[in-house]
Amino acid sequence: MKTLAWALRSLARDLRAGELTVLVAAVVVAVTAITAVGFFTDRVARAIRQQASAVLAADLVIRSPEPVARVFLDEAHALGLRTAEAIAFPSVVLAGDEASSLATIEGVGAGYPLRGEIRVSTQMFGTTTVADGVPARGEAWAEPGLLGQLGVDVGAAVQVGTRTLVITRVLEYQPDQNPGFANLAPSLLVNIDDVAEMDVIRPGSRVTFRQLYAGEEAALAGFRARVGPRLGSEAAFRDQKDAGEQINAAIDRAQGFLTLASLVTVVLAAVATAMAARLYALRHLDTVALMKSMGATQVFIERSSLAQLIAIVLGTSLAGSVLGYAAQGVLARLSVGLLQIELPPSTVTPAWLGVLTSTTVVIGFALPHLWALKRTPPLRVLRHDLPPPALATGVTYAIALGALFGMIYAIVRDLKLVGVVVGGLLALACLAGLAGFGLVRLAARFRGVAGVAWRYGIANISRRGGESVIQIVGFGLGLMVLLLLTVVRTDLLAAWQRTIPPDAPNYFLINIDPPSWPALRKFIEGELGGRPSALPFIRGRLIAIGGIPVQDLAITDPQGLSFIRREQNITWTAELPASNAVRAGTWWGAGHRGEPQVSLEEGVARGLGVSVGDTLTFNVGGEEFTAPVTSIRHVQWDSFAPNFYLMLSPGLAEELPQTYIASFYVAPEKRRLLNSLVRQFPGVTVFDLEAILAQVRMIVDRASAAVQYVFLFTLLAGVMVLLAAVQVTRDERRFESAILRALGADRRTILQGVAAEFTTLGALAGALAAFGATAIGLVLAERVFDLEFRISPWLWPAGLLFGSALVGLTGTLATRKAVNESPVVTLREA
């Protein structure tokens, strides 16, 4: 109790006297940054997830081949959720006596879609508008492909089973439209109440019943937990995560960028805190020696230091979280226009990140310095020249970095990302340390070369040896982050945006009969100005792995299970498509005509437990064939090129009945001509990817904007490191300048010397920072974000100029007060 009371009193006095300002400010900035990022990304991520809901038409969907119990809807209403129902099944649609086509009939009920929107037009490929509600009874909205196949237009009557419907709209976009190829027939959207009157659903019909839910996350989670165990074996939940690979890949990248920002902030804050704590400890050596001479024991000092640090942790967590919350509020308001997303309110969870951050940073990086204080020899009260107690630097920082690494991992849960950033910063710190020693030695040679100010400045760098190295490391890290956030960030974001080029395919054609392909191709190239790429396409089922039937294998992975339960799309090609990269094994290469080979997508390979060398047996249209897996591929799902889980080497399946799949880009002004394509090639199904493409582009753009905002806080942390680094030599500088001024040097000369010193330190740190930023940018782009990164030629000159200017200016400005202070005051204090 005595210790606690003393510790708190003494902490209050230190705070009042400004002794802890830098340390507390560094931790508060860290907590503010991490919680602001936390609160904001929490909201943005949830908003982005809601965007994904728009693709799914709901937050949560139950899909089942059997009717879903209606009691679930009542339970959902009781929990405050909104609901809707939908039924989908294939059926023949008749138009007049002659025309008929297979279509996917989509019966939707009131309220559909719960998220997102249906877009319709009054003529094929015409101007689209957002539909108000769902088709009225007796009405139907048809996809252009269906209209083309039937040879009818809006206003025509069509028949499904025993029910006649009038087509009142062209269905241009409907959420929950899987851009995969499983759903081959074009859609006809009708009112769910008309479905019963069609009288086409019989036992054994391929029907998909859906119940859609939307509402608060907690309510959804509660609903899922209650209903989950009662779902039949055939029914399954779908949520945002199942919204489609393209959207998921975009969201994952967005979160990667956002977490990167918070991660770098934490590391920087830790560096700033360690520097500030070291300074605090050095300044308190005499006080501790004095306390010991007055009877304070080591245990007392140890406990009071700990109590003070705990108080700092609590105080900074609270202050930082409150500031962080306020900052994210401003951030959210600022971003309203730019982000174009309505942000849901934040949860309180990110406040815990603040406590975690403060604890890790303070205990990991400040405690070691304060802990060492207890070993201050009391004799220091008489012999001021006694060195400060040694810090077991290696062990201490290893533990601190371990804690930091652990904390960051707890936040981002991405070992690779954490490894790259922490490893990169650590490598840079070591490199900066080594280079610092080099410069300090080199500086000694140049001290005679320049004028008096430079001589004084450069001499200071070599004289201050250890301190200079610490400053170079601090400045280097600070600058590197600034460079990463300015130059590299723009490059990374640009690289991300480049993944969806302006002419990314926006239309897919499937069901192309091979003999008609040359004519179709000519039409696309001639009339639509597109450059189509086509791949052959068959459907087959995996029946055995290594000769063992799949049903006898213990496959538990959901992706693996889903893969073996369904027919898969299979293609064959000699060339590895641009959106694919081989991760294991080798691609068969162009001109391969030897033994048949298989290439698998990495996720599926993992799910099936298959690796290079295993043999797979397929059944395609009743024929079985076996081939070894020779490569595992990474597929860039958001590339908008036709991508396949399964690829075969040419030759194996060429004799089997097949169709082609083609993709191409059509400029908006030529979209109307698709109408004639549909009429000329009625067997072909057109998939409009424009909507999903726009969705992914929007996610990329909005996430980029969010990241830019979030990086502002990281910038602030970078500036804190710079300030802490400047503070390292502040006391010494005050004393020195007082002595120099007492000896007759004018303020101008001293300030010039200081400027020379900081400019030199900044230039070196800037060069190191450019090196570090390039390396980290490259690794991040290629290994983490899977982007093609071009090194900006501006990075190095920017690093040097930015470094010397920023550090020179900040250092000189921060030291100006010390230099200006009356030498009498300073010397009297000493």
Query: Whole-angstrom Cα distance, residue 767 to residue 755?
Result: 18
DSSP label of 640: -
Dihedral pair phi/psi, residue 358, rounded to 5°: -60, -45
Nearest approach, Cβ of residue 44 and other proteins (Å): 43
Nearest approach, Cβ of residue 22 and other proteins (Å): 14
Per CB under 8 A, contacts with other proteins among 448-477 are none
Among 761, 765, 766, residue whose Cα is nearest residue 811: 761
What are the C-alpha distances in Å from 316 to residues 28, 312, 436? 5, 6, 33
Residues forming a β-bridge with 548? 545
**What tokens does 212 get?**
């859609």
- For other proteins, the closer CB: 300 or 437: 300
What are the C-alpha distances in Å from 35 to residues 38, 255, 723? 4, 16, 22
**What tokens does 103 get?**
């279509």
Among 57, 34, 38, 254, residue whose Cα is nearest residue 175: 57
What DSSP string describes 67-100? PPPTHHHHHHHHTT-EEEEEEEEEEEEEETTTEE
- For other proteins, the closer CB: 286 or 525: 286
| 793 belongs to the binding site for other proteins (CB under 8 A) | no
- Among residues 181, 237, 300, 409, which is the contact residue for other proteins, using CB under 8 A? 300
642, 578 in Cβ contact below 8 A? no
Site string for other proteins, 365-384 (x = CB under 8 A): ------------xxx-xxxx
| 202 belongs to the binding site for other proteins (CB under 8 A) | no
| 817 belongs to the binding site for other proteins (CB under 8 A) | no
Nearest approach, Cβ of residue 30 and other proteins (Å): 24
- Among residues 291, 312, 479, 604, which is the contact residue for other proteins, using CB under 8 A? 291
- For other proteins, the closer CB: 739 or 775: 739
Residues whose CB is less than 8 angstroms from the CB of residue 426 and which lie 6 or more positions away in sequence, other chains included: 401
569, 181 in Cβ contact below 8 A? yes
What are the C-alpha distances in Å from 818 to residues 719, 723, 726? 20, 15, 12
Which residue's entry shows tokens 């339960």? 565
Nearest approach, Cβ of residue 457 and other proteins (Å): 29
Nearest approach, Cβ of residue 760 and other proteins (Å): 32
Query: Whole-angstrom Cα distance, residue 20 to residue 214?
Result: 50
- Among residues 298, 349, 562, 820, which is the contact residue for other proteins, using CB under 8 A? 298
**What tokens does 41 get?**
């990304």
**What tokens does 160 get?**
């499904």
**Alpha helix segments (H runs only) across 136-244:** 144-150, 192-198, 217-227
Nearest approach, Cβ of residue 16 and other proteins (Å): 8
Query: Whole-angstrom Cα distance, residue 747 to residue 751?
Result: 6
Q: Return the exposure string of 205-230: e unless at least 16 CB atoms fall within 10 Å of the residue's CB, then b.
A: eebebbbbbbbeeebbeebeeebeee
Among 313, 428, 411, 405, residue whose Cα is nearest residue 27: 313
- Among residues 69, 99, 290, 576, which is the contact residue for other proteins, using CB under 8 A? 290
Site string for other proteins, 378-417 (x = CB under 8 A): xx-xxxx---------------------------------
Tell me the pairing of strands 187-191 and 99-108: parallel
- For other proteins, the closer CB: 606 or 730: 730
| 181 belongs to the binding site for other proteins (CB under 8 A) | no
Nearest approach, Cβ of residue 380 and other proteins (Å): 9
- For other proteins, the closer CB: 237 or 300: 300
598, 627 in Cβ contact below 8 A? yes
- Among residues 159, 164, 255, 287, which is the contact residue for other proteins, using CB under 8 A? 287
| Binding span for other proteins by CB under 8 A among 60-68, 295-303, 355-363, 751-759 | 295-303
| Binding span for other proteins by CB under 8 A among 6-14, 24-32, 356-364, 442-450 | 6-14
| 286 belongs to the binding site for other proteins (CB under 8 A) | yes
Nearest approach, Cβ of residue 14 and other proteins (Å): 6
- For other proteins, the closer CB: 222 or 378: 378
Number of residues that bind other proteins (CB under 8 A): 32
Dihedral pair phi/psi, residue 740, rounded to 5°: -60, -40
Nearest approach, Cβ of residue 272 and other proteins (Å): 21
- Among residues 182, 221, 299, 590, which is the contact residue for other proteins, using CB under 8 A? 299
Nearest approach, Cβ of residue 392 and other proteins (Å): 19
- For other proteins, the closer CB: 19 or 117: 19
- For other proteins, the closer CB: 20 or 54: 20
What are the C-alpha distances in Å from 27 to residues 30, 359, 371, 727, 814? 5, 9, 18, 16, 20
Phi and psi based region of residue 532 (left: phi greater than 0; alpha: psi -120 to 50; beta: remaining):
beta
| 19 belongs to the binding site for other proteins (CB under 8 A) | yes
Nearest approach, Cβ of residue 813 and other proteins (Å): 23
Query: Whole-angstrom Cα distance, residue 318 to residue 411?
Result: 19
Nearest approach, Cβ of residue 819 and other proteins (Å): 18
- For other proteins, the closer CB: 284 or 671: 284
| 196 belongs to the binding site for other proteins (CB under 8 A) | no
- For other proteins, the closer CB: 9 or 230: 9
Nearest approach, Cβ of residue 11 and other proteins (Å): 11
- For other proteins, the closer CB: 18 or 345: 18
| Binding span for other proteins by CB under 8 A among 5-13, 392-400, 405-413, 670-678 | 5-13
483, 802 in Cβ contact below 8 A? yes
Site string for other proteins, 684-703 (x = CB under 8 A): --------------------
Nearest approach, Cβ of residue 292 and other proteins (Å): 5
- For other proteins, the closer CB: 1 or 554: 1
Nearest approach, Cβ of residue 283 and other proteins (Å): 9
Query: Whole-angstrom Cα distance, residue 706 to residue 688?
Result: 29
| 294 belongs to the binding site for other proteins (CB under 8 A) | yes
| 16 belongs to the binding site for other proteins (CB under 8 A) | yes
Taking the C-alpha atoms of 240, 242, 248 and 252 in order, what is their torsion angle to the nearest 10 degrees?
Answer: 70
629, 598 in Cβ contact below 8 A? yes
Nearest approach, Cβ of residue 742 and other proteins (Å): 17
**Alpha helix segments (H runs only) across 447-486:** 452-463, 465-483
Nearest approach, Cβ of residue 12 and other proteins (Å): 10
| 293 belongs to the binding site for other proteins (CB under 8 A) | yes
- Among residues 136, 221, 824, 825, which is the contact residue for other proteins, using CB under 8 A? 825
| 17 belongs to the binding site for other proteins (CB under 8 A) | yes
- Among residues 14, 42, 85, 106, which is the contact residue for other proteins, using CB under 8 A? 14
**What tokens does 410 get?**
């707890």
| Binding span for other proteins by CB under 8 A among 12-20, 431-439, 653-661, 694-702 | 12-20
- Among residues 204, 229, 295, 668, which is the contact residue for other proteins, using CB under 8 A? 295
Residues whose CB is less than 8 angstroms from the CB of residue 550 and which lie 6 or more positions away in sequence, other chains included: 542, 543, 544, 564
Residues forming a β-bridge with 627? 616
Residues in the chain: 830
Among 696, 100, 11, 36, residue whose Cα is nearest residue 305: 11
- For other proteins, the closer CB: 551 or 820: 820
Neighbouring C-beta atoms of residue 70, cutoff 10 Å: 10
Nearest approach, Cβ of residue 15 and other proteins (Å): 9
Interacting residues toward other proteins by CB under 8 A: 2, 6, 9, 13-14, 16-19, 286-287, 290-300, 377-379, 381-384, 825, 828-829
